[in-house]
Structure 1
Amino acid sequence: MLMRFRVANHASLLEEQELSLVATDEHDDIAVTEASAAGVRVLPALAILGANASGKSNALRALVYMRRAVLESHARWLPDGGTSRVPFLLTAGGRAAPSAFAVDIVLDGVHFEYGFELDDRQVREEWLRSFPEGRPRRLFERSVADDGTSSYAYGPSFRGRRRLIEDVVRPNSLYLSAGAGNNHDILRRIHRWFHRGLKVALDANFGARIQETRRLWDKSEEYRDRLRGLLQFADLGITDLSITEEEWDDERVRQVRSAMRVLVPEIPEDEAFDVKPAPQIGFVHAAEGGPVTLDLHDESNGTRTWAGLLGPVVGALQDGSLLVVDELDARLHPHLAARLVALFQNREWNTGGAQLLFNTHDATLLAPHSEANLHRDQVYLATKDARTGATELTALVDFRVRDGVENLEKRYLAGRYGALPFFDEELLVGIGAKRGVDEAGQAARDEEAEREHA
């Protein structure tokens, strides 16, 4: 369960920004979870609104980058490949300063804080703390010198093969990643949260999300009923899913095995490993002559979007994990987007502490009548500093909004909270005037040409 996420110097986020899912108000109508280990109540959903290019997506992608660093830095990042970070590029200070990421999470009733700082080449600092009885307790701290040598400090409760982990961790990899890879109990638990407890829905991983739907479909009839129910609920004209597996002939299998040996030279020549195509997902429509199954690429963009969310949504609600969705409203009807949020907000549907973190342009989600039922402490606003171009994230509660009294949608669209695009009408006037001059000039030239022709 995520309580807070902090980031500094990633993409358009220059100064440290924080997203907090800690409830500041009492809520009896949404699925708030008691985090007794931290002495707080945690929200089931959090929305980020703002104008185009305000940094909404960057705030979510910062968390996605942190996840990727945890999961890949030890096993996949090349020793001399740096960190692939994306610092703030509009100032020299941003390009030179380290980037920082930190989360506060609750796992198995324990409050942990984990974070790290890194530059283009290597990790600079890394730490893990727990909070028994609300007081911080150091588990490990790491600092890396300019020459790549690391120094460590450990708390008395952090045991295990610490020396082995120190020996295998590289300057550009995380101690957490190396420790989890070497089966350290506490580090493996934190690593597992990033792997299984944090699901991501971006355009770039659409294929993986479709395969997640297929995996859940194969898991049990219970999952099939849930997936089928969400498809039918969306009123897409779809009654069922169809999973088919293509059969490859011997020659195709031989070609794929040969290609795999080129890509992975470590595979022994005499190893006849299994290869088969990924199952294909079809969508069953009710038709006059009987059910008709269409391929994914034959469906509308809205259907494809909803299909790509089925697996992550069902998985998150079942596992009690966090789902991060970039542009929730993209290609979805506002009512359907609101009902998706409601799946996480509703106590009857969300019984395991699942969370939804998303950005959107859809201000109707803030309306009093919306099924999303978002409260003031569930909304952040993204704005760009006019001078530096840096993103600032502001909690709606900072505006002293009265929860349940003010119409958040109406006031947001009226500009009471900012985070709206500014249109310079004079630019349009200038464009219109220039067009008028151009048209007048062309008319004069046409008239002159007609006289010469006559």
Structure 2
Amino acid sequence: MLLEFKMKNYKSFKDECVFSMKVAPKQKGLDYSILSEKIGRNVYKGLSSAVIYGPNASGKTNIIGAMETFKHIVLRGNIRNVEVKDSPNAASSALELIPNNTLNTVEPVDLSIAFTDGGLLFEYAMSLDLGRFLDRDHERKVLKETLRVNNTTLFVREAATLEIGDMTVVEPYLVSAYIQNAKGAAALAESSLHDEELFLANGFKTMFSAKLPSAITQWLDKSFVVIYRSDSMQLVRKFSEPKKRSVFIEKTLNEAAALFGVNSNALGYVLDGEHEEAQLCSIFNRNSKHAAIPVELFESYGTIRFINLFPLVLRTLREGGILVVDEFDASIHPMALMNIITLFHNDELNTHNAQLVFDTHNPIFLNSNLFRRDEIKFVDRDDETHCSTHYSLSDFGTAGAKGVRLSEDYMKNYFVDRYGAIKSIDLAPIIRTLMNDNNKE
């Protein structure tokens, strides 16, 4: 369960941005959407969903991009660029794109996450010297790195120094060699620190505990699903017998697609006998023979998006992960999306603390019957500094002139600019000038 993600000096977010999935205090209504997990004597409560609003170019996607970039850095264990670009998020492989472009001096890039998994609370943070914007030749350094488990600090790495904390809280996860020679392991680990490598993924993993870093990377890889650009989302299936020409039709996918409106044909994965990856096709039964057409040649863009999205939703609910999607609602009918959202709010169905986070321009979700105030997030960008800020509807409180009460019309208030994160656009002057210039010519 994701509790919090923080970033600073990431693209348009020059100052610290705290994206919280923690339950805000004194919020009433929609209590059924609250997730809860007990770890030791503490109970941690999280939101099952969050929706992010803001005008174009405000920085909404940068929050999602920062999450994906953080994930990629931890999984590869270093802050070097990679040539293989497996994501449309260029900043995850070319880190010189990360620092805020308005800064004239080198400032650290800070990224951190707090989440629960397997009965443990993880808090992992890093502070990176990546140079200035577009400075690819800068000598990068991990300035600081911290790991806390169950509110106990395990290590603090600051540049070339390392401080090992109280390991007794995670004793079952430690390697036997460390238990026998704790001081020697700490000294050896400090001497082997590398400026561009994360201590978590290297020294800590080999000398202290392989299980804890593995738990973190497994959660990031399998449970923390971040779709940076929804139009690039494509579900890929692999099968154990790629050399066998076959057609696989999944019942659940087709039942969901039928509700969505796909009922004149079946959807299936076609293996050509040469590749492990199967192609998603529309399957037609003609004269007792199957004809397969690639979905992009027959189905609408909205249908294809739903087909690719639904299995991710299903897996997230079944396994208790978090699904973060940029422009989740693009080309999909609002009623279908609202139904997906209510799945995450349903205590009987969402039994594994699954979470959904997405950004949108559709005001239909600004509804007190669908989202709590602390689940409604905003991103705004200053026209003078060009820097983004992030806040929640719950930050307005419930009293005073700027207070937001449960009975209010959130959508109406948004369009009259009570919450910010909205921008009036008038293209008429540009068109008028262009038309006048044409008339003069």
Taking structure 2 as the reference length, the TM-score comes to 0.79
* Pairs within 5 Å for 1:58-69: 58-69=62-73
Quickly say closer, same or farther: Cα 1:285–1:165, change in 2 above 3 A: farther
Higher helix share: 1
* Conservation of the 8 A alpha-carbon contact between 1:413 and 1:420: yes
Q: 391-400 vs 340-349, which deviates more?
A: 340-349
Q: Distance in 2 between matches of 1:165 and 1:301?
A: 52
Quickly say closer, same or farther: Cα 1:169–1:278, change in 2 above 3 A: farther
Q: 52-61 vs 226-235, which deviates more?
A: 226-235
1:152-211 per-residue CA deviation (whole Å, 9 max, x = no partner) reads: 33324364455576576532121222258646122221222111120122338946x411
Equivalent residue number for residue 87 of structure 1:
99
SS in 1 for 2:64: helix
Quickly say closer, same or farther: Cα 1:171–1:238, change in 2 above 3 A: farther
Q: Distance in 1 between matches of 2:124 and 2:231?
A: 25
1:67-101 per-residue CA deviation (whole Å, 9 max, x = no partner) reads: 011101349857xx9955611012314xx101001
Residue 35, structure 1, aligned to residue 34, structure 2: no
Amino acid at match of 1:211: V
Residue 375, structure 1, aligned to residue 372, structure 2: yes
Equivalent residue number for residue 105 of structure 1:
115
Equivalent residue number for residue 390 of structure 2:
393
Who wins on radius of gyration, i.e. which is larger?
A: 1
Q: Distance in 2 between matches of 1:179 and 1:309?
A: 38
Taking structure 1 as the reference length, the TM-score comes to 0.77
Equivalent residue number for residue 134 of structure 2:
none
SS in 2 for 1:412: helix
Q: Distance in 2 between matches of 1:107 and 1:357?
A: 18
Quickly say closer, same or farther: Cα 1:30–1:230, change in 2 above 3 A: farther
Equivalent residue number for residue 277 of structure 2:
278
* Conservation of the 8 A alpha-carbon contact between 1:367 and 1:410: no
**Unpaired runs of at least 5, structure 2:** 83-92, 131-139, 179-184, 243-248, 399-403
Deviation at 1:403, TM superposition (A): 5.4
Residue 384, structure 1, aligned to residue 381, structure 2: yes
Q: Distance in 2 between matches of 1:431 and 1:279?
A: 48
* Pairs within 5 Å for 1:161-176: 161=178, 162=185, 170-176=194-200
Deviation at 1:355, TM superposition (A): 0.4
Quickly say closer, same or farther: Cα 1:206–1:308, change in 2 above 3 A: farther
Deviation at 1:57, TM superposition (A): 0.3
Equivalent residue number for residue 147 of structure 2:
128
SS in 2 for 1:247: coil
Number of residue pairs aligned between Structure 1 and Structure 2: 391
Residue 177, structure 1, aligned to residue 217, structure 2: no
Q: Distance in 2 between matches of 1:368 and 1:394?
A: 17
Equivalent residue number for residue 210 of structure 1:
235
Deviation at 1:237, TM superposition (A): 3.6
Amino acid at match of 2:384: R
Quickly say closer, same or farther: Cα 1:180–1:235, change in 2 above 3 A: farther
Equivalent residue number for residue 334 of structure 1:
334
* Conservation of the 8 A alpha-carbon contact between 1:150 and 1:171: no
Q: Distance in 2 between matches of 1:150 and 1:399?
A: 42
Deviation at 1:12, TM superposition (A): 0.7
Q: Distance in 2 between matches of 1:374 and 1:317?
A: 18
Deviation at 1:32, TM superposition (A): 1.7
* Conservation of the 8 A alpha-carbon contact between 2:344 and 2:354: yes
Amino acid at match of 1:153: I
Equivalent residue number for residue 216 of structure 2:
190
Equivalent residue number for residue 270 of structure 1:
none
Quickly say closer, same or farther: Cα 1:325–1:74, change in 2 above 3 A: same
Deviation at 1:301, TM superposition (A): 1.1
Residue 301, structure 1, aligned to residue 298, structure 2: no
Q: Distance in 2 between matches of 1:238 and 1:412?
A: 41
1:306-334 per-residue CA deviation (whole Å, 9 max, x = no partner) reads: 12212321111111001110111212122
Deviation at 1:225, TM superposition (A): 4.1
* Conservation of the 8 A alpha-carbon contact between 1:238 and 1:284: no
Residue 53, structure 1, aligned to residue 50, structure 2: no
Amino acid at match of 1:377: D
Q: Distance in 2 between matches of 1:279 and 1:59?
A: 32
* Pairs within 5 Å for 1:435-446: 435-436=435-436, 438-439=438-439, 441-442=440-441
Deviation at 1:106, TM superposition (A): 1.3
Equivalent residue number for residue 153 of structure 1:
164
Q: Distance in 2 between matches of 1:17 and 1:318?
A: 30
Q: Distance in 2 between matches of 1:180 and 1:31?
A: 37
SS in 2 for 1:67: helix
Identity rate of aligned residues, in percent?
24
Deviation at 1:429, TM superposition (A): 3.4
Quickly say closer, same or farther: Cα 1:168–1:322, change in 2 above 3 A: farther
Deviation at 1:289, TM superposition (A): 10
Amino acid at match of 2:395: D
Equivalent residue number for residue 325 of structure 1:
325
Residue 419, structure 1, aligned to residue 421, structure 2: yes
